[in-house]
Structure 1
Amino acid sequence: MKFKKSLNLVHVTPSASPADTCCSPDDRHSENNEIIPDDAVGHKTEFIVYGMDCSACANTIEKAVRQTEGITQVQVNYSTGKMKVVALEEAVFEKLPATVEKLGYTLEKVIQKGNSRTYSIEGMDCVSCALTIENHLKSQPSVKHVSVNFSSGKMTIEHDNTVEDIIKEVSKAGFKASLVSRKRSSEVKKDKSGTNRVVLSGVLLLIGIIGSYTGVSEIMINVLYAAAIVFGGFKPAKSAFYAVKSRSLDMNVLMTAAVLGAAAIGEWFEGATVVWLFALGTVLQERSIEKTRNSIRSLIDLAPPEAFVKNGQQLVSKPVEDISVGEIIVVKPGDKIPLDGKVISGESTVNQAPITGESIPVDKHLGDSVYAGTINEHGSLEIRVTKLYEDTTISKIIHLVEEAQEQKAPTEAFVDKFARIYTPIVFIFALSVMLFPPLFIPGTWSEWFYKGLELLVVACPCALVISTPVAIVSAIGNAARNGVLIKGGAFLEVAGRITAIAFDKTGTLTEGKPSVSQVIATGTTEGELLSIAHTLEEYSTHPIAKAVVDYAKAKGFKSLKGEKFRNIVGKGVEAIISGQEYFAGNHKLFQELNNSIGELESRIGILQEEGHTIVIIGTKEKILGVIAVADSVRETTVKAVRDLQRVGISQVVMLTGDNEGTAKKVAAQTGVNRYFAELLPENKATAIKQLQVEGHFAAMVGDGINDAPALATANLGVAMGGAGTDTAMETADIVLMADNLEKLPHTIKLSRRAIRIIKQNIWFSLIIKAAALILIFPELLTLWIAVISDTGAALIVILNSMRLLRVKI
């Protein structure tokens, strides 16, 4: 293995990997060897495992679960964070969460697709709301499993009762549920009751304030304030009831307690103001969060719900879910393509930006692949369907992005843990302030009670808890709309920390298909040389031969009449042209023909050192010329490498199995500042380890198949051309849907900006909370100002996060 750094060539031989540690970068994607077959005997289920930070954790869990009585097979996959288990009886699965929890990890059962339903939840404005719904539904006997995701606003639930029953139970907790279908968002009726209650509460509060200055009796004014509390506080009070019932301590509980306390000590104006500000802040938060969620939901609307299917000479409109593989659909100019397929008739240009992020439409001809959700711009196309609706590229993108939303980033997990500790501590402190100081410190009981109420409001960690997930969803949604799949907040954070990026050469930095780079004619004219080469290579399927033929055609030189074509294995081809025997092949072929290369020897040697493949054309007696073929560098590569260096990537590295000369030439053309040459596939992973040993946070960019070991070893795996390969979409941490690198520098930039915004949000939230806590005891804080500090901070954090939606990739 060799690599080039600056201008000095350094020779490196593969060495043993650094000492393994539990959380070394080497085993970030390491897997266990045991595979559970689909036909395994027994009851099978799958769990998501939370808390694993290396493959050693997976081994520990696997050993512990295997020792559980009734378990026949177990496989823990660290990369996917999942555990597959086979048991003699289903009841055994109930023991596993406790078993794994003792080891310091948590389990969540994966619901099989056929047994679960997905609901959209309206009204959630923080993670605590999701927890309240979860805990309430878990108490229902008919619910087998439930998972509520605040970021996506969706609930996945396995239940035996009706859809109406579930919707009713969710409404009891103060939220609105609707079964997810392919109904367009414009057709879904929005619930405006929350907004109406805020308006009514605000009007009553305003009338009360005006009445206090116009001589209206105090009793009447307090009635108005009490009515404002009832209308504005109905939803949070209802949610608080079910939160307490399900043993959750969320902001609704804290705010309701504060308002009831204010009313108890006669602070009706304070209570009404708190309710209205809180309700207003909640509505504004919900609307803001909906905009971030819509960045993902808009993907669903990319593909049309129906397609025109060709039935004989007629076109029949059918729902896309009812269309089978092999059927022929017709897409008119200006329409969206409804399903993945191949063009069997017609020509057009297709705007693939919704899938790949490419700004320039792509020409489509007979046999070309097209994707659901892309836009047919000009000609009419007949397309043979190759994938069912649920298997289309856009469906997989939506599925992967929704999965990404559900995976917590390390920062988010830390903040959640902090909030779970912070809230009960401040809540207990608030109760202590209400009860104990009046016994020992001079002052009225109502003053200390009021301070305790302020502490209850300050105990709400809304802004802090929401600081990370909204930023992550905004960034992932932005990237998805621009043809980049980031498969989770953890990978978004890793991308922002990358200092070195390694590229596979062939097919990544280069086109991956050879082309003619130079023609040297010595014994004839260039035109005659290319005509003879065209004739000799026309019937060969070798990529080099195809490159020669394509070049001759492009130059306008037609093939001649040839006969008696013969392939000489490993050396070249021969044929009779105009009664003369001609050969096209490598140096070895002409050595066997005893035909001297002569003065071309040195030129051929130089070309080979530069990475060219040489095709010699001639007869047994005479050399007619040489055609040099090489893999060309992609048009976007040089700019992408330059942009990566501009955004702060200190090491842009090329990995290749080619010789030193080829590697040196391509490195010079692309602008990479380092290369590893003459690598076997397994040595690419060793090269990544070398970068990690040097202290770099390394990413690997490849095609997701041949580069699997290196992609797995890197801190971040990036696959190209995800729109064309399912494997690339499944194996990598980040997928560039288009087959070029132009989006990568901007993705790194987006990730770093997301990390900055997350840090801004966290520090802002903590500073606001600290300031509020400090201002309570000098009596500089009022209850309604405390509410503004909480809901206002949450709203600012959301708006700050939403800036990521506007970052251009």
Structure 2
Amino acid sequence: MRLLERQHDQHTYRLANLSCADCAAKFEEKVKQSSGVVDAKVNFGASKLTVVGRPLSIEEVETLGAFDNIKVAVEEERETPFWKKSRAIGLIAFSLLLMIAAFWCQMLGTSAALYISLYVAATALGGWETFKKGIPSLLRLDFNMNTLMAVAVSGALAIGYWAEAAVVAFLFGVSESLEAFSMERARRSIRSLMEMAPRRASIRRNGVEQVTNVEDVRVGDTMIVRPGEKIAMDGKIVKGQTAVNEAPITGESVPVDKEPGDEVFAGSLNTSGAIEVEVTKLTEDTTLSKMITLVEEAQEQRAPSQKFVDRFAKVYTPAVMALAVGIGLFPPLLFGAPWQPWIYNALALLIVACPCALVVSTPVAIVSALGNAARNGVLIKGGIHLENVGGLRGIAFDKTGTLTEGRPAVSDIVPLKGRGEDDVLTLAASIEQLSEHPLAEAVVRAARERNLPLKEAKDFEAIPGKGAQARVGGRVYRMGNRRLFEEELFKTAAAENQIQKLRQEGKTVMVLGDGHELIAIIAVADRIRETSRNTLRELKRIGVEKTVMLTGDDRLTAQAFAREVGVDDVRSELLPQEKVAAIQELKKRYDRIAMVGDGINDAPALAAATSGIAMGGAGSDTTLETADIVLMADDLSRLPFTIRLSRSALRVIKQNITSSLVIKAVATVMAFPGWLTLWLAILADMGATLLVTANGMRLLRIQPGKRKGVH
């Protein structure tokens, strides 16, 4: 569909009353057959229709969806409480009162005409929405669940089962309303993301402050955000200091200190100082908007279990309908059995034929899991990725920026010629101040932290793969790895032993000297993230068999770091293509392997893994597009949470499919000896639907740091 989107215009409609997954599929087919429509996709989880080709009017969309009362939702309708906008609830309540009245009239021995009239009226009111959708569908030979129910209720009336008809119509109406309410609640977990960013912003233009709709804000505008206000747009702080709660983006509720030059994101909360922000993205391009779009698109990617259910339902419903016809016709025609009881059995089986519980069993679990993950700073880009991460047997980690903070710092300064540490650091930083290498930046940063005055460096030259040299105070100095110097300069035992000792500690060693002697050894280390060790321990606890670190560091440094952080295995001195080969080898051994990296430098390895997991997606468009799963904050502790959520979702989906099939199977078997009454059939159908919906919504309760999952 993406290729078609590029070739044709794309139009999106938010829908109301979309509570039946089976009806959503039928609606999608109807839209596809419309004149001028190249393709169409109904996203059941997000309650959204996407049309490629000619734009459809609201009237056209609602006409196509009239069989299930599908409407185009306006903003006000989406904000109205469910119980206020559902007319069906009033009809169902009145139906119940009429049923009670009819029952008492029957018990008191009043005339049959009175209580039968009350039962028929109760049936008409309770089944009004069902008849309104089902009868037109029957005339078109479109056998959806409303058609089956309308036939069953009408058949019960025709053979004189007045009370059963009223009970079935009432219970089905209740079931439909509860199912719609439950799906609305599951969708709200995603819709709540949309409501996190304010719709209006305070902007200063031409020296005048004004409040405007976010759609009218332009890149480059200055946004004024006061303490306690939500930030409306992505941007960079140009004035003021504050602490910002970025929970809507990263899932981390601890406020982050911000100062001029720092990024802020739409939907986050300014907790302290007033700030002025230069807007850097339009409202549709903000990180929050991209998150919402990706979460909604993720629901369109059907998980393997959902594909199985869709295929099974296509066979199951016609098969049970054919069986119902057989039960109603063959015993009377072939064996002279009485018509009334066998037609009654057939009608009961028609009710059981409704595939609601089976069809909704997977989507409600997927929607709940994806919404929960997004609210906690984890973006999972499809049901298939949600299922894959639950089956991981091994996880490979990039080192720099993933297991470490990605910001190397000077850890050791070892003078070799009697100079002081500050003297050595001043000289080294004077050389490196002209370099852009991360190790050089660490040296310069260390000198500035000590407030050391840097000297002027002339004739600077970067030597690729080795280091750099420059003239300081009229003398040429070199700073880099040992390959930058003649080997005989290292023959002093003190220098050689010190270098080996620092490397065995997992540190990167740089040497300062000139062409004649070594002046000092400076070691740089990338700090281990505070969460790395605990995350690796937690991954072991939840059953991940193998953790591997893939790095370009030399063997000694990599092994020392691996021991300190707690990974099982380490692959060192790897080029990007060698990381891909390592992932492919691990996949052969462990089947399902994840790769965790920064999403940019590790893109090939992320793509090769079963699940590509990127760190720090907040503000990074590239990272959002690269990986299957994005940890929006630089927080590895969200990884065990994601795996626990996935495994819980898989358990819930299996429980839902199994329970719905078992309930349907038992009810079907009960129809043959005549044990399946109409009211019992509708209770079985309603019970199965509500059971799988409630079970799926339990996934909303799983939180990071909580070891107790869904069982």
Instruction: Normalising by structure 2, report the TM-score.
Output: 0.92
The 3 A distance-change label for structure 1 pair 667 and 169 is same
8 Å contact kept, 1:562–1:575: no
Cα distance in 2 between the residues matched to 1:568 and 1:410: 56
Offset at 1:247?
4.6
Offset at 1:656?
1.4
Offset at 1:573?
4.3
Q: 1:82-481, aligned counterparts within 5 Å?
A: 84=3, 110=5, 114-122=9-17, 124-137=18-31, 141=35, 145-157=39-51, 163-166=57-60, 168-169=62-63, 172-179=66-73, 185=79, 190-244=84-138, 247-441=141-335, 443-481=337-375
Offset at 1:160?
6.1
Cα distance in 1 between the residues matched to 2:76 and 2:176: 28
Counterpart of 2:409 in structure 1 is 515
Counterpart of 2:707 in structure 1 is none
Q: Which moved more, 1:133-142 or 1:670-679?
A: 133-142
Code of the residue aligned with 2:544 in structure 1: it is: I
Offset at 1:161?
7.9
Q: Which moved more, 1:132-141 or 1:729-738?
A: 132-141
Offset at 1:521?
3.7
Offset at 1:622?
6.9
Code of the residue aligned with 1:384 in structure 2: it is: E
1:629 aligns with 2:521: no
Counterpart of 1:724 in structure 2 is 619
8 Å contact kept, 1:595–1:621: no
8 Å contact kept, 2:219–2:282: yes
8 Å contact kept, 1:146–1:157: yes
Q: Which moved more, 1:436-445 or 1:759-768?
A: 436-445
The 3 A distance-change label for structure 1 pair 573 and 121 is same
Offset at 1:507?
1.8
* Greater share of helix: 2
1:771 aligns with 2:666: yes
Q: Quick one: which of 462, 466, 469 aligns to 1:569? A: 462
Q: Quick one: which of 370, 381, 384 aligns to 1:487? A: 381
SS at match of 2:19: coil
SS at match of 1:694: helix
Offset at 1:729?
1.1
Q: Which moved more, 1:560-569 or 1:445-454?
A: 560-569
8 Å contact kept, 1:699–1:714: yes
Cα distance in 2 between the residues matched to 1:590 and 1:443: 103
Counterpart of 1:559 in structure 2 is 452
Counterpart of 1:714 in structure 2 is 609
Structure 1 unmatched ranges of 5 or more: 1-47, 49-81, 85-108
Cα distance in 2 between the residues matched to 1:769 and 1:187: 33
Code of the residue aligned with 1:697 in structure 2: it is: R
Cα distance in 2 between the residues matched to 1:111 and 1:121: 28
Code of the residue aligned with 1:795 in structure 2: it is: L
SS at match of 1:668: helix
1:704 aligns with 2:632: no
Offset at 1:280?
0.5
Cα distance in 2 between the residues matched to 1:510 and 1:137: 51
Code of the residue aligned with 1:207 in structure 2: it is: A
Cα distance in 2 between the residues matched to 1:418 and 1:736: 35
SS at match of 1:773: helix
Q: Which moved more, 1:524-533 or 1:765-774?
A: 524-533
Offset at 1:293?
0.6
Cα distance in 1 between the residues matched to 2:411 and 2:394: 31
8 Å contact kept, 1:572–1:586: no
Cα distance in 2 between the residues matched to 1:636 and 1:730: 25
The 3 A distance-change label for structure 1 pair 282 and 369 is same
The 3 A distance-change label for structure 1 pair 190 and 386 is farther
Structure 2 unmatched ranges of 5 or more: 705-711
Code of the residue aligned with 2:651 in structure 1: it is: R
Offset at 1:553?
3.7
Offset at 1:478?
0.5
1:651 aligns with 2:546: yes
8 Å contact kept, 2:434–2:460: no
> Which whole-Å deviations, capped at 9, do the CAs of 1:161-190 have from their partners, x for residues lacking one?
874423651563242413455997359995
Cα distance in 1 between the residues matched to 2:211 and 2:668: 63
Offset at 1:363?
1.2
Cα distance in 2 between the residues matched to 1:121 and 1:762: 26
Q: Quick one: which of 641, 648, 656 aligns to 1:746? A: 641
SS at match of 1:421: helix
> Which whole-Å deviations, capped at 9, do the CAs of 1:105-154 have from their partners, x for residues lacking one?
xxxx64878452313221x3321221343355556557665433322222
8 Å contact kept, 1:705–1:727: yes
Offset at 1:197?
1.1
Counterpart of 1:808 in structure 2 is 703
8 Å contact kept, 1:544–1:629: yes
The 3 A distance-change label for structure 1 pair 672 and 458 is same
> Which whole-Å deviations, capped at 9, do the CAs of 1:624-667 have from their partners, x for residues lacking one?
54221122222211111111111111011111122211221121
Offset at 1:248?
3.2
Offset at 1:528?
4.2
Code of the residue aligned with 1:612 in structure 2: it is: K
SS at match of 1:808: coil
Counterpart of 1:736 in structure 2 is 631
> Which whole-Å deviations, capped at 9, do the CAs of 1:260-290 have from their partners, x for residues lacking one?
1100000010000000001011111111110
Code of the residue aligned with 2:655 in structure 1: it is: Q
Offset at 1:402?
0.8
Cα distance in 2 between the residues matched to 1:392 and 1:252: 42
